[in-house]
Chain A
Amino acid sequence: EVQLVESGGGLVKPGGSLRLSCAASGFTFGNAWMTWVRQAPGKGLEWVGRIKSKADGGTTDYAAPVKGRFTISRDDSKNTLYLQMNSLKTEDTAVYFCTTDRALGAFDIWGQGTMVIVSS
């Protein structure tokens, strides 16, 4: 079964850090481009960033609000995607979803999401 399972969410103070993980199974993770999307409570979807497959360079792109604070990485040996979040702000409070990325905004497999709350 094709599956993505996020973990690592929780409550963190402003200025703090958190690392999210996304465990993949049921498909060839190493060949996949992967993306993080977030959704603030009661709000719409927001693209966070993506990482290409190593075969396509393994490069990353980020949305302006998180650039310089968030880092996306992958460990293909563990079929796991990561999102390192530093200097967290209250406006980063959201459910964070990992997805597979067909490119150009087509995200076809989604995890269930993990909640991040940034509050003092």
Chain B
Amino acid sequence: QSVLTQPPSASGTPGQRVTISCSGSRSNIGSNTVNWYQQLPGTAPRLLIYSNNQRPSGVPDRFSASKSGTSASLAISGLQSEDEADYYCAAWDDSLNGVVFGGGTKLTVL
């Protein structure tokens, strides 16, 4: 059981907008910033969003994220076939004194 809760799957058609949720608690998302990762099949994860809504250089602006209270969400607009991947949220947890991840959401582009 992951400390952060994500839906196991999501899907959309090319061009659509999809969102992925991430639910936590006061000790993690409620107190710290949220980060998002994309993991393409067979590759290492890639930082997609940091500090709730900041994109590292090279990440397209189709990817955006937000946080409210103890939840966060990742939005992907103009969905493309290459977006098919696993997506993870992560945050520092003050009670556990470590980083916690969501269980991951497998995004399928139909």
Contacts and interface: CB of A to CB of B under 8 A. Distances in A.
Interface stretch (A12-20, A74-82, A84-92, A98-106): A98-106
A47 B45 contact: no
A62 B98 contact: yes
Contact of A64 (B44, B96, B99, B104): B96
Given A44-B101, A44-B103, A45-B101, A105 B44 contact: no
B103 A104 contact: no
Given A104-B92, A105-B92, A97 B45 contact: yes
Interface residues of A, number: 24
Interface string A32-56: 0001010000001111011000000
Contacts of A45: 37, 39, 45, 88, 90, 101, 104
Contact-residue bracket for chain B:
20 to 34
Interface in A102-116: 102-108, 110-113
Nearest to B104: A44
Nearest to A46: B101
B97 A61 contact: yes
Contacts of A11: none
A108 B99 CA distance: 14
A108 B50 contact: yes
Contacts of A37: 45
B90 A105 contact: yes
Contacts of A62: 98
Contact of B98 (A63, A106, A108, A112): A63
B30 interface: no
Nearest to B91: A105
Interface string B79-92: 00000001010111
A45 B90 CA distance: 9
Interface of A: 35, 37, 44-47, 49-50, 61-64, 97, 102-108, 110-113
